[in-house]
Structure 1
């Protein structure tokens, strides 16, 4: 994940570790998507199905893109995976927001933030595709800013979903954010693998929060 905006070149052992960690994440994401769609189909309506499908699909895309990037040996294929990897992170951030906003927050706050976060995601993807000197000085502030946008509506989120949902959202955000320290610590061996572990933790916390607070049950 986010390979190509890091200055140093990783060893083969590091790349194998990177691919394995997010390969596990990809398998778990696929399983999670199936669970979400089954529950939404059995106990929800169209909005539940679409919202959870968006979230689960972006989760799968992100982990698959990252795994392929780190496993790729062809320079051309690695470049394509690099673009997809960066784009998928913007999509995952917006995708993770989607069920919380549309199934939990709802109303004017929910739909407004939904439009804003997806607008930012599209902007991020376009910037990645058109900017020649795209780097982490652009990517990291955008990722972090999008991730913490929820703070502008923390009161309404608490009122609509309760303290538990807020706790899951913040815990996941903190896991992702804490991992950035290892992502930029380029001299630390296997720093990118450690970053991947924090990403897995953040994803797991947000998935648990979504399952616990907005996924329909019988």
Structure 2
């Protein structure tokens, strides 16, 4: 359930000074012409969709959950667009890279928040929220402290957190079949995007629209599907 990870040279060594240790070694690489534009274009739509979602949510709890979903989606699209669109200096780039990567984890937890609030009994809701936000916090600590971790190590973190609540599919289907189908469809799009990012394939037009742009496009599709799913359950929460 997911963001805007930037592809660049990665090392396998643990950093000693968080946020700035890459400033001296990070070298800029050519960016496709579309780099950052997809998430920049998605941002105003995410603002409007978030406002609509909160306004239409049926209860105070649903509105709170929808607001969390909106905030994390805006953080992901906004920071990703800012990071990828402009040629930042090494220090700022190192900081934005960390924020960009951690926002993916925040969006995963943020997407589960209104779903758990609106679709699950109280006890299960509390468990899911604790698991999701604790997992996001641990993942964020990992990415901040080891931003140069190899892809094969950190991409699975996003996948594991995104799939952590699959054991509750019967409860989600009981709450709303359309909601669950849409959330799963968005999750599949996120997973495909993560695989594209991890394997750097397909890479259709490297100078214009490369694998990273395919990844970003899939995150927008995934967000749209899951937004509709959240709207469905927020309009008619089970609690």
Identify whether the pair has TM-score above 0.5, normalized to the shorter chain.
yes
Q: Structure 1 pair 164/132, CA: closer, same or farther in 2 (3 Å)?
A: closer
- Cα offsets for 1:125-181 (capped at 9, x unmatched): 11112236433233211100111112111112222x132122111101111111223
Q: Distance in 1 between matches of 2:44 and 2:9?
A: 26
Determine if contact 2:117/2:125 at 8 Å carries over to the other structure.
Answer: yes
1:72 is displaced (CA, Å) by 2.6
Structure 2 residue corresponding to 1:3, chosen from 1, 6, 25: 6
In angstroms, what is the RMSD of aligned CA positions?
A: 2.1
- Are 1:28 and 2:28 matched, yes or no? no
Aligned to 2:231: 211
1:4 is displaced (CA, Å) by 4.5
Residue pairs, 1:183-198, within 5 angstroms = 183-186=197-200, 188=203, 189=206, 190-198=210-218
Aligned to 1:202: 222
Q: Distance in 1 between matches of 2:86 and 2:103?
A: 17
Aligned to 2:191: 177
Aligned to 2:140: 125
Structure 1 residue corresponding to 2:96, chosen from 65, 73, 81: 81
Q: Distance in 1 between matches of 2:7 and 2:163?
A: 24
Question: 132-141 vs 107-116, which deviates more?
Answer: 132-141
Q: How many residues align?
A: 211
TM-score, L = length of structure 1: 0.88
TM-score, L = length of structure 2: 0.81
Determine if contact 1:4/1:82 at 8 Å carries over to the other structure.
Answer: no
Which stretches in structure 2 are left out of the alignment for 5+ residues?
11-26
Determine if contact 1:158/1:166 at 8 Å carries over to the other structure.
Answer: yes
Question: 1-10 vs 143-152, which deviates more?
Answer: 1-10
Determine if contact 1:18/1:196 at 8 Å carries over to the other structure.
Answer: no
Higher relative contact order (CA 8 A, sep 6+): 2
**Bigger share in helix:** 1
Q: Structure 1 pair 99/151, CA: closer, same or farther in 2 (3 Å)?
A: same
Which stretches in structure 1 are left out of the alignment for 5+ residues?
none
Aligned to 2:65: 51
